[in-house]
Amino acid sequence: MQARNSRATRSGRLSSHVPGQTNWARIVVHELTHREVKTKDHAYEHQGINPRKLGADKALENAGSWAWFCADCAGALTDGVIKNASAR
Ligand SMILES: [Zn+2]
């Protein structure tokens, strides 16, 4: 039985979290990359951050790309979220 607010992540694990927690974690990573490594905002997630479309040079400098990379490494992104972001 799934706990309330749980969902299957891409890794197949169940992630029990406070709604919006993943988004807040991404925002913190996004802002920290600006501060610590001087990233830029070439594109936000809702605009599409697919490296093939954004270009490798811009993806490496893009704060949103790093935030999503960290979320993906933590297994916090669902297949649907990844598919949606990659389509743009
Ligand atoms: Zn930013």
37-80: pLDDT as tens digits? 999 999 988 888 888 899 999 999 999 999 999 998 988 888 88
Cβ pair 29, 70 in contact under 8 A: yes
Residue 1 has pLDDT above 50, yes or no: no
As a residue count, the chain comes to: 88
**Rounded Cα distance, 59 and 22, in Å:** 21
Q: What is the pLDDT of residue 80?
A: 82
Mean pLDDT of the chain: 81
- Model pTM above 0.75: no
Residue 32 has pLDDT above 90, yes or no: yes
Query: Which residues, other chains included, contact 71 with Cβ-Cβ below 8 Å and sequence gap of 6+?
Result: 22, 25, 26, 29, 77
Q: What value does the CA radius of gyration of the chain take, rounded to a whole number of Å?
A: 14
Q: How far is the CA of 38 from the centre of ligand 1 (A)?
A: 10
Tokens of 79: 């297949």
Q: How far is the CA of 41 from the centre of ligand 1 (A)?
A: 5
Q: How far is the CA of 1 from the centre of ligand 1 (A)?
A: 38
